[in-house]
């Protein structure tokens, strides 16, 4: 089942996150109080609404309580960002990523219920979208417009297999540059195994890394 997202605040950063999630075929609702912001992105994100996230009743009516992950990307309005985070927590949204324009507010947002706080200058919207779209992607670093270095968590039910047997390079065109096993990083050879709960570090195109993520998660089920 696809994960569902709401991106609240469709300025430059929020709209970039929304577009990236839409391109990953996620179920996404975009929301902003500004009609202009909603209009600008409506062609690329199918479901967008003009609404005020400071009002709990509005979020409740939109069914936000059932959404898997909320991204609060409101800029230059601390009050709106705080009230929105409080409302999302009150509705029981489990995953709340909040944009903060200053590191001074990170602890505040965490106390209010944010599960992750990011500073736009330190985080790529594209990388954030990839991380939150998959529970298995722990870190995502874009090298250029095509390639990325990605850390992918291996599920607890994964059956141990060697890199030769998995044949990820020939199947998907990616390079395995490292494995983290029991918190120890090493550069593997073909005879080394990928074990349950390892973290695999791969390099490949963004499309290739998504396929490896899906493959490893299917293998883990």
Q: Tens digit of pLDDT for each residue in 15-52?
A: 988 988 887 788 999 999 999 999 999 988 989 999 99
Rounded Cα–Cα distance for residues 184 and 13 (Å): 35
Mean pLDDT of the chain: 84
Contact call for residues 127 and 146 (beta carbons, < 8 A) = no
Lowest mean pLDDT across 70-84, 96-110, 145-159, 165-179: 145-159
At residue 67, the pLDDT reads 94
Contact call for residues 108 and 89 (beta carbons, < 8 A) = no
At residue 195, the pLDDT reads 87
At residue 152, the pLDDT reads 82
- Characterise 125 by phi-psi region: left (phi > 0), alpha (psi -120 to 50), beta (else): alpha
Rounded Cα–Cα distance for residues 166 and 200 (Å): 13
Q: Tens digit of pLDDT for each residue in 194-210?
A: 988 888 888 888 778 77
Phi, psi of 107 (to 5 degrees): -65, -40
Terminal CA-to-CA distance of the chain, rounded, Å?
13
Q: Tens digit of pLDDT for each residue in 123-148?
A: 555 566 555 555 555 455 554 556 67
Rounded Cα–Cα distance for residues 101 and 116 (Å): 14
Q: Tens digit of pLDDT for each residue in 79-106?
A: 999 999 999 999 999 999 999 888 888 8
């Amino acid at each position: 089942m696809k994960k569902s997202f709401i991106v609240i605040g469709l300025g430059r950063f929020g709209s970039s996150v929304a577009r990236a999630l839409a391109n990953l075929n996620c179920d996404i609702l975009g929301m902003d109080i500004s009609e202009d912001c909603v209009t600008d992105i409506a062609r690329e994100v199918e479901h967008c609404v003009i609404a005020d996230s400071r009002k709990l009743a509005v979020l409740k009516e939109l069914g936000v309580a059932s959404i898997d992950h909320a991204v609060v990307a409101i800029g230059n309005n601390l009050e709106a960002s705080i009230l929105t985070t409080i409302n999302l927590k009150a509705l029981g949204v489990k995953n709340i990523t909040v944009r903060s324009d200053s590191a001074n507010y990170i602890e505040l947002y965490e106390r209010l219920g944010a599960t992750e706080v990011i500073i736009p200058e330190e985080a790529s919207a594209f990388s954030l979208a990839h991380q939150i779209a998959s529970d298995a992607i722990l870190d995502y670093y874009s090298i250029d417009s095509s390639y990325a270095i990605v850390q992918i968590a291996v599920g607890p039910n994964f059956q141990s297999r060697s890199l030769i047997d998995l044949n990820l390079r020939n199947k998907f065109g990616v390079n395995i540059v490292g494995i983290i096993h029991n918190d120890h990083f090493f550069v593997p050879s073909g005879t080394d195994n990928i074990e349950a709960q390892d973290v695999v570090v791969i390099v490949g195109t963004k499309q290739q890394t998504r396929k490896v993520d899906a493959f490893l998660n299917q293998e883990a089920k």
